[in-house]
């Protein structure tokens, strides 16, 4: 019980602190996550701003190139020839040669000429470092934005071709679009379909599902390949035709190193804090448990001794525990006083009961008290003390309680008893047991009351037990009862002298009486504790010798 209470006291002191640490770690972790996300948003926004700036610079540079290229006289001449002869293969070939020459000179990847209505007329495109002519009847490249062909994506821009302020066509120039130019993982989509991606360890299907989950939100968080990603659309740049450029960054991969450092620092701090908390909780719990343990120890000692403890000093520094001990001390004193009063009443009751028994027969007045005294003297000679001696003393007082059930005509008959009357008298040990076994607290006296007429050789009554099968307390009372019966005068015989009674006990030792108990009586007699006087007798014709069951009539 002490360990369980000490453990509970320790846990109630320690667990709240541990919970506080866990909550603190969770708050710090959430703060780190929030800081990482804020940093990512800022980083992605800056990337998009840089992207927009680069696009503006690219468009400006392309505009300059386009203006220069659009003023190219051979290009204009070739365009005019094709406009005049739209179905002429040689005119188209001439224009394509002009475009190929411009692309080789200025390192363009895509060149296309359209009429003033935007209908493509001729174009060349760089595929695997080769400039090839485009089939205009199969391809419909836009004039602005992105154009995807096979594994290549091109970013396009256009400028008008004028002669004498009259627009005769449109020149479109493009360059390969490479996501490696961006510092953050990026995806290019068209109407939600992934065209290009630089996101590592992620399939197109996973990326499409993540983008679809974001819906029309420019900024959102999504899960890709088991990691949390933050994605931000380039809303500052319009690519047209359903094209969208999104930057993605893994929140987990960026926050993981930071969280690792936080965990390490927090682990060290937590271990130190937990050690301090454990020491403080242990000290606190012991300050509570120690005085209570002292009370419990005293109660265990009182359980062995049967007396409630009284604390002269209060071994607790805690006010509530000190009050508890003081209250318990007062209660113990009150219980002890009540117990002493009950004990006195109990002893008075036993004495009165024994006196009431003896009062039924003038010849046996004081018999129960004398048997109790003799039994205690013999028990002390056998080194019996304490509670066992008290059982013998009280049991001897009550040994004849069963004679309440024997009729006066039999109990006080002045002549010899018949066999039927003797059988009735021999029932008094069993009657005594039945009387006492229903009374709480009297069970310990039952062996004396029921078995004090059992003989050492098994010829006694009521159970015919022999030698050590008869409890020691009953064997002691049997000898003391026989001695007092022999030295007391009865209506049918005179009292024997002390010496005659001693000789009779010696003669019957080993048959009727336990020889060791008889020896103990003799030791008591040597120091003068048994009275050496003959009791007065009432003359009666029924004077008999005592060959065996000397004390049976007691």
**Confidence band of 502 (pLDDT split at 50, 70, 90):** very high
For position 517, what pLDDT does the model report?
A: 95
| Cβ(495)–Cβ(532) below 8 Å | no
For position 541, what pLDDT does the model report?
A: 30
**Confidence band of 347 (pLDDT split at 50, 70, 90):** low
Report CA 27 to chain centroid distance, whole Å.
25
Does pLDDT of 363 surpass 70? no
Among 466, 476, 484, smallest CA distance to 520 is for 476
In degrees and rounded to multiples of 5, residue 182 shows phi and psi of -90, 145
Count the residues in the chain.
554
**Residue 416 or residue 33, greater confidence:** 416
Q: Could you tell me which residues are beta bridge partners of residue 524?
A: none
Q: What is the mean pLDDT of the chain?
A: 77
Mean pLDDT of 212-217: 75
Among 261, 248, 198, 258, smallest CA distance to 221 is for 248
For position 503, what pLDDT does the model report?
A: 93
Mean pLDDT of 212-225: 76
| Cβ(144)–Cβ(157) below 8 Å | yes
**Confidence band of 286 (pLDDT split at 50, 70, 90):** low
Other CB atoms closer than 10 Å to residue 278's CB: what's the count?
A: 15
**Residue 5 or residue 194, greater confidence:** 194
Instruction: Give the span between the Cα atoms of 551 and 513, in whole angstroms.
Output: 11
Does pLDDT of 540 surpass 60? no
For position 437, what pLDDT does the model report?
A: 85
Mean pLDDT of 501-521: 94
Mean pLDDT of 318-339: 73
For position 543, what pLDDT does the model report?
A: 29
How far CA 223 is from CA of 192, 209, 543, in Å, comes to 17, 9, 118
For position 440, what pLDDT does the model report?
A: 74
The tens digit of pLDDT for each residue in 126-176 reads 887 788 888 776 667 777 777 777 777 888 888 888 888 888 888 888 888
The label of the residue with tokens 């009370």 reads 295
| Cβ(108)–Cβ(62) below 8 Å | no
**Confidence band of 320 (pLDDT split at 50, 70, 90):** low
| Cβ(63)–Cβ(54) below 8 Å | no
The tens digit of pLDDT for each residue in 291-317 reads 666 666 776 766 666 666 655 555 555
Does pLDDT of 201 surpass 80? no
Mean pLDDT of 440-463: 91
Among 37, 32, 29, smallest CA distance to 251 is for 37
0.75 surpassed by pTM: no
**Residue 549 or residue 418, greater confidence:** 418
Does pLDDT of 334 surpass 70? yes
Among 197, 180, 175, smallest CA distance to 244 is for 197
**Confidence band of 478 (pLDDT split at 50, 70, 90):** very high
Q: Residue 378: CB partners within 8 Å, gap ≥ 6? A: 476, 479, 480, 517, 520, 521, 524
Q: Where are the domains of the chain?
A: 360-526
Q: What is the DSSP letter of 490?
A: B
**Confidence band of 27 (pLDDT split at 50, 70, 90):** confident
Mean pLDDT of 488-517: 89
- Mean pLDDT is lowest, of 79-93, 107-121, 140-154, 362-376, for 140-154
**Confidence band of 232 (pLDDT split at 50, 70, 90):** confident
**Confidence band of 48 (pLDDT split at 50, 70, 90):** low
Q: What is the DSSP letter of 407?
A: -
The tens digit of pLDDT for each residue in 253-269 reads 777 777 677 777 777 87
Q: How is domain 360-526 classified at the architecture level of CATH?
A: Orthogonal Bundle (1.10)
Helix residue spans in 360-488 (DSSP H): 367-381, 386-397, 408-411, 419-425, 428-436, 446-451, 472-486
Does pLDDT of 288 surpass 80? no
| Cβ(121)–Cβ(82) below 8 Å | yes
Instruction: Give the span between the Cα atoms of 459 and 432, in whole angstroms.
Output: 20
How far CA 149 is from CA of 126, 128, 231, 261, 488, in Å, comes to 10, 12, 26, 47, 139
**Confidence band of 396 (pLDDT split at 50, 70, 90):** very high
**Confidence band of 94 (pLDDT split at 50, 70, 90):** confident
- Mean pLDDT is lowest, of 133-142, 197-206, 414-423, for 133-142
Mean pLDDT of 330-349: 74
Does pLDDT of 65 surpass 70? no
For position 76, what pLDDT does the model report?
A: 82
Mean pLDDT of 324-328: 74
- Residue 362 burial (C-beta neighbours within 10 Å; 0-12, 13-18, 19+): exposed
How far CA 85 is from CA of 80, 167, 172, 358, in Å, comes to 9, 18, 21, 158
């Amino acid at each position: 019980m002490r360990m369980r209470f000490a453990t509970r006291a320790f846990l109630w002191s320690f667990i709240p602190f541990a919970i506080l640490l866990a909550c603190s770690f969770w708050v710090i972790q959430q703060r780190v996550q929030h800081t990482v996300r804020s940093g990512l948003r800022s980083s992605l926004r800056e990337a998009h701003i840089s992207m927009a700036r680069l696009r503006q610079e690219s468009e400006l540079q392309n505009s300059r190139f386009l203006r220069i290229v659009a003023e190219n006289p051979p290009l204009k001449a070739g365009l005019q020839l094709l406009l005049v002869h739209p179905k002429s293969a040689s005119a188209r070939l001439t224009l394509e040669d002009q475009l190929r020459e411009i692309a080789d000179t200025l390192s363009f990847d895509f060149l296309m000429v359209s009429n003033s209505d935007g209908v493509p007329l001729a174009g060349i495109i760089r595929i695997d470092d080769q400039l090839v002519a485009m089939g205009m009847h199969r391809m419909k490249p836009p004039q602005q934005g992105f154009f995807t062909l096979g594994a290549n994506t091109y970013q396009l821009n256009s400028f008008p071709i004028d002669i004498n302020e009259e627009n005769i066509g449109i020149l479109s120039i493009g360059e390969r679009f490479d996501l490696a130019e961006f510092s953050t993982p990026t995806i290019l989509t068209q109407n939600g379909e992934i065209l290009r991606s630089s996101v590592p360890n992620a399939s197109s299907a996973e990326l499409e599902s993540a983008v679809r989950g974001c819906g029309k939100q420019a900024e959102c968080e999504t899960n890709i390949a088991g990691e949390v990603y933050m994605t931000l659309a380039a809303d500052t740049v319009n690519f047209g035709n359903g094209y969208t450029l999104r930057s993605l960054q893994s929140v987990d991969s960026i926050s993981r190193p930071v969280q690792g450092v936080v965990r390490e620092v927090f682990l060290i701090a937590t271990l130190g804090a937990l050690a301090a908390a454990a020491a403080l909780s242990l000290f606190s719990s012991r300050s509570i448990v120690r005085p209570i343990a002292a009370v419990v120890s005293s109660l265990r000692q009182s359980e062995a001794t049967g007396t409630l403890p009284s604390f002269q000093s209060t071994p607790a520094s805690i006010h509530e525990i000190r009050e508890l001990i003081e209250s318990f001390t007062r209660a113990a004193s009150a219980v002890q006083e009540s117990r002493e009063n009950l004990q006195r009443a109990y002893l008075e009751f036993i004495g009165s009961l024994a006196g009431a028994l003896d009062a039924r027969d003038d010849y046996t007045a004081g018999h129960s008290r004398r048997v109790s005294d003799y039994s205690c003297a013999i028990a002390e000679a056998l080194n019996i003390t304490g509670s066992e001696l008290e059982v013998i003393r009280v049991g001897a007082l009550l040994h004849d309680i069963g004679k309440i059930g024997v009729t006066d005509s039999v109990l006080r008959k002045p002549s010899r008893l018949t066999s039927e009357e003797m059988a009735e008298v021999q029932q008094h040990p069993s009657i005594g047991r039945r009387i006492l076994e229903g009374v709480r607290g009297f069970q310990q006296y039952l062996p004396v009351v029921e078995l004090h007429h059992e003989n050492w050789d098994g010829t006694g009554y009521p159970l015919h037990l022999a030698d050590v099968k008869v409890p020691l307390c009953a064997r002691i009372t049997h000898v003391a009862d026989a001695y007092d019966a022999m030295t007391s005068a009865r209506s049918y015989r005179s009292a024997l002298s002390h010496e005659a009674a001693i000789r009779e006990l010696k003669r019957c030792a080993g048959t009727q009486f336990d020889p060791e108990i008889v020896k103990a009586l003799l030791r008591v007699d040597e120091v003068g504790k048994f009275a050496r006087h003959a009791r007065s007798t009432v003359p009666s014709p029924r004077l008999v010798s005592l060959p065996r069951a000397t004390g049976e009539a007691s």
